[in-house]
Amino acid sequence: MLDRSSDIRIPAPCIIETGLIVNKRDMQRVLGDLHQIRYLYLQDGKPYSRGEAYVVEVFADTQQSTILADRSLYLNVCSFDYLELKQDERRNTYFDLVQESRQLRLIPVTSPPIDRVSSDFSDDTLESVLAQVISAKLDAQIDDLDDFYREE
């Protein structure tokens, strides 16, 4: 008799606003949109440290640490068992990264959709701006050379 239980496919989870995320890639994708955050670090349920920081990098590597120093957060999702998405009373989302008796709460200071609109440059736009800057600098250097040779 053929066992067809392996043919049954379970759909991927769908998380809307709140829920638990255990997949490291999903954690990395969600947290990768963060820029400036307020953080609260708890040990055994008691506040240990708090402050503000910029998320410099979000990565998944079992050989590296999560480091928060000098207001810069290098966040390794492998440092945590899961990510819990929560909302405060005003429906603002925040993130709890949990590993045994440790918890790192990240509260976005800026909203990712607003940040994306203001900082979303295409490669073509960036290339065009860079070409204009280089062209203007070359024009200024040529003008300086022309002035130099006229003075002689």
pLDDT of 91-129, one tens digit each? 999 999 999 999 999 999 976 554 454 455 566 676 777
Sheet holding 19-21, edge to edge: 19-21, 82-87, 93-99, 102-108, 36-43, 46-59, 72-76, 67-69
| 131 in any annotated domain | yes
Please check whether residues 30 and 53 belong to one and the same domain. Answer: yes
132 & 103 share domain:
no
The answer to whether residues 41 and 80 belong to one domain is: yes
Q: Are residues 73 and 130 in the same domain?
A: no
pTM above 0.75, yes or no: no
Does 60 lie in the same domain as 18? yes
The pLDDT value given to residue 34: 94
Q: Residues 86, 133: one domain?
A: no
Cα distance between the two ends of the chain: 99
Report pLDDT for 75: 97
145 - beta bridge partners? Answer: none
Task: For residue 72, give its domain range.
Answer: 10-116
